[in-house]
Amino acid sequence: MYTRRTHRRSRTMFRARSRTGATFLALAALVVSACSSGSSTSSASSPAAQAAELAALPEATPSALAPYYGQKLRWRSCGVPGFECTTLRAPLDYARTDAGDVRLAVARKKATGPGKRLGSLLVNPGGPGGSAIGYLQSYAGIGYPAQVRARYDMVAVDPRGVARSEPVECLDGRKMDAYTLTDVTPDDQREVDGLVDAYKGFAEGCGADAPELLRHVSTVDAARDMDILRAALGDRKLTYVGASYGTFLGATYAGLYPKRVGRLVLDGAMDPTLPARRLNLEQTAGFETAFKAFAKDCVRQAGCPLGGRGTRPEQAGRNLKAFFDKLDAKPLPTGDADGRRLTESLAATGVIAAMYDEAAWQQLREALTAAMKKNDGAGLLVLSDGYYEREADGRYSNLMYANAAVNCLDLPPAFGTPEDVRKSLPTFEKASPVFGEALAWAALNCAYWPVAATGEPHRIEARGAAPIVVVGTTRDPATPYRWAQSLSRQLSSGRLLTYDGDGHTAYGRGSECIDRTINTYLVRGTPPTDGKRCS
């Protein structure tokens, strides 16, 4: 599944538009690396102990890469006031620089002052597949704390295959609509075959669009691109804030270039030591935790469709699952101009979308009330469309396509056959009675990917790196807190910063303690003490 960055300043995004998110058909395929709270010194049975370490690259720049590292950026206006844009060249294949280039879109907003400029601050919102430039222009470049924007040029690069950087495209809008309607809780062999056909069709579309690029969109490739950008920007070291999947990208950079680490913030952290099946299972449990927090809040409100005051979260979950089962048999009308009805898969995706930020709970409660009591599926469809980045005219961003392209390259698939899924269903349903079945079947999609995975689970220690701040939220649905614990222990210089709260990620989401701690680190270079907690 995909993870995404949300923040309180964008709480209307679910209502207003169709950012980021995987949905059920790609939901559990994510390569948001994971582990328990183990570390490189944990027991031999732990994933961290078993995984090999990501090796650092040589400090000297290879001669074949010198033209890339020496390129001069030509900045131009890009239509958004206060921002400039440029294009960065990187080799398509770092092992064969004669195989051609990829062209990467870069944007920046210069430091506003006062105070001495500290260099560039690169930001990434997650995904994989989220547009870093979109995040910069819509939030980070204008919404990050003024003291940070005063001292840094705010910079973003869309990773290869994403948004403005040679985007992978797989399906047109009509076919993508059909894909999102596919039943991901198959009841019989016919429905299993339909799900497999959907996965195969999606993969074939991606393979036909970018057969060569698909082999070179890994997180390691994107991290190496960031080092070329660092050099082109004139920075000796990289300063970076990555959220969600962006933490995996930032940690990978640190593992490859530990001596070039400046001030790194990894918010909503992921741990690269888990295989895909364990990754998806732990994230499934994370969404169950988030749903229970929502349910507890919902039943305190008058008219909660999941139960009255005193209803336990487990019963609220059974009530929601019963609603999903009804939709499986009879989808609801939505008033959609393209005639789409609210299916079980779209409804579940809408609920998942609201789990990322507790600011969306009221909207979810209203959407569930309309659907469960008035047979109106419009509100849940809006949430689902926002998660898919579907626009009102039926077009989709390339988020879902890039998400699968990176995920399926970074790790071997969670499952190889439908039978593998069936065997794991009890474990997934135990982790989440509400979402477990759908998320288990969603983890099958990489089995049919046209390009074999090149990555494996691994530890990232980044020995010799400056202090790296790893942020974990205790009830994060998409990147469970234990992942932040594990990553901070793996990193030789990791400092764990904990937010005791709900929602996905912590910086810029309302905790004065979190924001003050990270701002102090970015502006003054003073990291928090390891284990600091905020609420």
Q: Which residues does the annotation mark as catalytic? A: 244, 476, 504
Torsion of CA 496, 500, 506, 509, to 10 degrees: -150
Q: What is the CA radius of gyration of the chain?
A: 22
Q: Is 339 helix (H, G, I), strand (E, B) or coil?
A: coil
Other Cβ atoms within 10 Å of 359 Cβ, number: 21
Of 358, 298, 300, 296, which is closest to residue 501 (Cα–Cα)?
A: 358
Instruction: Choose among 498, 436, 422, 425: nearest CA to 285.
Output: 436
Single out the residue of 280, 189, 173, 408 nearest to residue 181, CA to CA.
Answer: 173
Q: Which secondary-structure segment (H or E) carries 81?
A: none
Beta bridge pairs of residue 102:
90
Residue with structure tokens 């449990």? Answer: 285
Single-letter amino acid, residue 154? M
Close Cβ partners of 234 (under 8 Å, ≥ 6 residues apart): none
* DSSP SS3 for 464: coil
Distance of alpha carbon 500 from alpha carbon 529, whole angstroms: 16
Count CB-CB contacts under 10 A for residue 310: 8
Residues 6 or more apart from 278 whose CB is under 8 A from it? 34, 35, 47
**Do the beta carbons of residue 253 and residue 461 sit within 8 Å?**
no
The identity of residue 209, as a single letter, is D
Q: Which DSSP letter does residue 141 get? A: H
Q: How far apart, in whole angstroms, are the C-alpha atoms of residue 503 and residue 447?
A: 30
